[in-house]
Amino acid sequence: MSTTAEDVWALLREVLEAQKANEQQSQETDRKFQETDRKFQETDRKFQETDRKFQETAIRFQETDRKFQETDRKFQETALRFQETDRKFQETDRKFQETDRKLQALGKQIGELGNRLGEFVEGLVKPALVRLFQDRGVAIREVYPDIEIDRGDEGLQIDLLVVNGAEAVLVEVKSKLTQADVDDHLERLGKFKRLMPRYADVRAMGAVAAMVVPREVGRYAYRQGLYVLAQSGESVVILNDARFQPRIW
């Protein structure tokens, strides 16, 4: 079978049409590929944006978590300080209660001591004074307790005043005698006649009496010319020896 020119042209047209169809299909495929690539790039951009936002959110979360942990740490520190403050307050309160208890006990002891001192004065010292001083050659007859003199800016307090017409003994009574008590009584004796002028012409002497008389304090009072009286069992005695010469004011 012979091939004619028309057959060739027909075949050529088919080839050209097929080539054209292939080119169109290739262009369409390329267009679709480019569109897919654009969409992929857009998706990737969105993904990167989402990732960036996620990272920012994560950073904010970390910062928030750090601040929360810092706040929690400060809260715990504050709680510890509060606990320490509460412990110190409870300790202070306990010490206050203990101090209050001791003060109450001390007040009770002072009250009991005051009662004992009053009993010592009324039960032992006062009844024995006349006899004790008469035995020492001081012929006293009268005992006056709790003498109080007020001369404006000056005053005088005498626990016991023992007198007769020519002599007087000022007796200071303490639970435990101290050197300061002795010095105070010497000052008291120095003011006696000036503040109580009706006794200006008597021979005034001094005495100290106590439930407890430390040896050195007793010797100090002795050297100052004072009679020293002390409790001895159920009675009171004068500790001064026979050589003692009282100081006269």
Each residue's pLDDT tens digit, 55-98 = 887 788 688 778 868 877 886 887 678 688 678 857 866 775 67
Per-residue pLDDT reduced to its tens digit, 12-22: 788 788 788 77
Looking at the chain, list the stretches that DSSP marks H as alpha helix, in order from N- to C-terminal side: 5-119, 126-135, 179-195, 215-223
What does 211-244 look like in DSSP terms, one character per residue? Answer: EE--HHHHHHHHHTT-EEEEEETTEEEE---TT-
One-letter amino acid of 74: K
C-beta separation of 231 from 124 below 8 A: yes
Strands 235-238 and 227-232 turn out to be antiparallel
The encoded tokens of residue 50 equal: 């989402």
Q: What is the pLDDT of residue 22?
A: 77
Contacts of 40 (CB under 8 A, 6+ apart): none
Burial 113-128 (b: 16+ CB within 10 A, else e): eeeebeebbeebbbeb
Q: Where are the domains of the chain?
A: 118-238
Mean pLDDT of all residues belonging to the chain: 83
CATH topology of domain 118-238: Trna Endonuclease; Chain: A, domain 1 (3.40.1350)
**Separation between Cα atoms, residue 62 and residue 216, nearest integer Å:** 81
To the question of pTM greater than 0.75 for the whole model, the response is no
